[in-house]
Homo-oligomer: A and B are copies of this chain.
Amino acid sequence: MVDSPAFVKDATCIVGIGQTEFAKALEPSEKQLALTAIKAALDDAGINPSEVNGLSSYTMENVEEFDIARNLGLGDVTWFSQVGYGGGAGCGVVGNAAMAVATGQCDVAVAWRSRKRGARTSRPWAGVGQRVSGHPQWSRPFGLLRPVDEVAMLARRAMHEYGWTRDHLANVALAFRAHANRNPSAQMYGKEMTRQDYTDARWISEPLCLFDNCLETDGASAVVIVRSDRARHCPQPPVSIHAFAQSINRQHQVMTNYFGDDPLEGPAWACARRLWSLADVGPGDVDVAQIYDAFSPLVPLSLQGYGFCAKGEGGPFTDDGALEWPNGRLPTNTSGGGMSEAYVHGFNLITEGARQIRGQAINQVEGAEVCLVTSGEGVPTGALLLTAAR
Contacts and interface: CB of A to CB of B under 8 A. Distances in A.
Interface string A248-280: 111111100001000000000011011000100
A199 interface: no
A7 B103 contact: yes
A122 to B, nearest CB: 17
A247 B2 contact: no
A229 interface: yes
A76 B246 contact: no
A1 B7 CA distance: 8
Contacts of A273: 76
How many copies are assembled? 2
Interface stretch (A61-69, A111-119, A173-181): A61-69
B252 A70 contact: yes
A250 B84 contact: no
A: contact size bracket? 35 or more
A257 to B, nearest CB: 10
Among A104, A228, A278, residue most surrounded by chain B Cβ atoms (within 10 Å): A104
Given A64-B135, A100-B99, A8 B105 contact: yes
A229 B76 contact: no
A278 B104 contact: yes
Contact of A80 (B227, B254, B380): B380
Nearest to A63: B134
Contact of A83 (B75, B80, B95, B247): B80
30 contacts: A1-B10, A1-B228, A2-B103, A2-B227, A2-B229, A7-B7, A7-B102, A59-B59, A59-B84, A66-B248, A66-B254, A69-B248, A70-B252, A74-B250, A76-B249, A76-B274, A77-B246, A77-B248, A77-B249, A77-B270, A78-B246, A80-B83, A80-B380, A82-B82, A96-B96, A99-B100, A99-B105, A103-B103, A105-B244, A105-B274
Given A2-B228, A8-B105, 9 more contacts: A1-B11, A1-B229, A2-B103, A8-B104, A70-B253, A78-B274, A79-B92, A99-B103, A104-B278
